[in-house]
Amino acid sequence: MASVVRIEVSHHRLPLDPPFPASWDTRPRTHFPATIVRVTDDAGRTGVGSGDAMYGFADYERHFIGADPLDFERNAAVLSNIEFHAGRPWPLDVALWDLAGKITGEPVWKMVGGRSNRIRAYASSGVHRPVADMVEVARRTADLGFPALKVRFGRPQLDDDLAVVKAIRDALGDRLELMVDCNQGWRMPWDVAAPWTVDHATAVAAVLEEHRVYWMEEPLHRGDYEGLAELRRRTSVRIAGGELTREPYEFRELLDRGCFDVFQPDVVCTQGITGLAVLAAQVEAAGRIFTPHTWGNGIGVMANLHLTAGAASAPFIEFPFDPPEWTTARRDYPMTETIEVDGEGWITLSDRPGLGFDLDEDVLRATASSQATFS
């Protein structure tokens, strides 16, 4: 039996010059923080995860020293307890899966179900651009082979958001599926704007319906179960969300009450690979779509790719990509190689044990920081 001998957590910040004006952040981002978690076993094998900052996790490390990395359920249950006490520790679940793959010699996509080693990506944009520029983004996205593009709402005038969807449809017809992220389900720490009401969301949905939008994401606060279910009854556009929902019982409510067509929890934010493999099966058994949020660094993208390709049957998965401000080089900076799609938007996962990536130690040294949050 392998056993864990060491856990190391390090923080990093990549300077962003020029800054990244993320549409869901009221301030342009001048840094991209990352937390790297390494878990090493008694044979010297190391698994790597990334995601939330895990401040204070050192107090709980001892619950994993001596643990078997292959005891997935036990380890995830302890992480769930720690989440209650000290914030989200899910990067360690990802690191343990990477380590488990290195122990068994198998890639994670195979360990979680082996359904496929390939998955198609949709381009997930992050910048509010003028209408003409958004049409160019859509054209480039289609030319690169992506099957779908997600655009962001949240401009000062809703009409300007809606004009983007109309202009893209008018210019490209049905060359691309289009998704719209309303980002009402979460807030940056300093952003106290009220989320939309169900009537407001219904009016927006009516326009999206007209433009054949594939899904409407986070149209209401993540806890507005009643509103989400009502909205879903009122529109034929798929309703998506759940990227920052945490607990299994919350997802049960969202499923049972008919809140979402598309469930988007992210393994580095919620329940890890262990918990979300179970949720993905429940979501698909109910006839809904499971396809994670992946906005973070490439390690999180990679972990979500393995889970979703191996254990789900999503039509496509989020690929954060909006050059020049958001490139794969920026997104994947902790890794030696960027994750790229082929000419038709497909990503093929390797057969390397674990998650199949290497850390760029030089970059990690150069970006070492005491802070790994947006604050």
Residues contributing to the site for Mg ion (CB under 5 A): 181
Q: Smallest distance, Å, CB 305 to Mg ion?
A: 17
Closest approach of Mg ion to the CB of residue 318, in Å: 8
| Residue 100 or 289 with smaller CB distance to Mg ion | 289
The structure tokens listed for 356 are 């199949």
Task: Write down the H helix ranges in the chain.
Answer: 72-86, 91-104, 108-111, 131-143, 158-172, 198-210, 225-234, 248-256, 272-285, 298-311, 328-331, 361-366
CB of 32 to Mg ion, least distance (A): 17
Name the DSSP class of 59.
G
Give the residue nearest to Mg ion (CB). 181
Burial of 338: CB neighbours in 10 Å, binned 0-12, 13-18, 19+ = middle
Q: Tokens for 176, please give them.
A: 């691309």
* Contact predicate 211/235, CB 8 Å: no
**Smallest separation, CB 185 to Mg ion (Å):** 8
DSSP codes joined into one string, 289-353: EE-----S-HHHHHHHHHHHHHH---S-EEEE-BTTTB-HHHHTTTBSS-----TTSEEE---SS
Shortest Å distance, C-beta 244 to Mg ion: 9
Q: Choose between 75 and 184: whose C-beta lies nearer to Mg ion.
A: 184
Q: Whole-angstrom Cα distance, residue 98 to residue 123?
A: 26
* Closer CB to Mg ion, 124 or 328, in the complex: 124
Could you tell me the two tokens for 120?
């198609």
Which residues are CB-neighbours of 174 under 8 A, at least 6 positions away? 212
**217 or 332: CB nearest Mg ion:** 217
**How remote is the C-alpha of 269 from its chain's centroid?**
8
Query: How far is residue 68's CA from residue 75's CA, in Å, rounded to a whole number?
Result: 8
Shortest spacing between CB 220 and Mg ion, in angstroms: 13
In the complex, least distance from residue 186 CB atom to Mg ion, rounded to whole angstroms: 8
By beta-carbon proximity to Mg ion, the closer residue of 181 and 230 is 181
Contact 263, 237 (CB under 8 A): no
- C-beta closer to Mg ion: residue 12 or 150: 150
- Which residue, 57 or 263, has its beta carbon nearer to Mg ion? 263
CA distance 374 to 19: 13
Residue 358 beta carbon to Mg ion: minimum distance, rounded to whole angstroms: 29
Determine the Cα–Cα distance for residues 201 and 236; give it in Å rounded to an integer. Answer: 13
**Which residue number, 83 or 181, has a Cβ lying nearer to Mg ion?**
181
Nearest to Mg ion of 318, 332 (CB atom): 318
CB of 60 to Mg ion, least distance (A): 29
Distance CA 273, CA 76 (A): 9
What are residue 8's phi and psi, to 5 degrees?
Answer: -125, 135
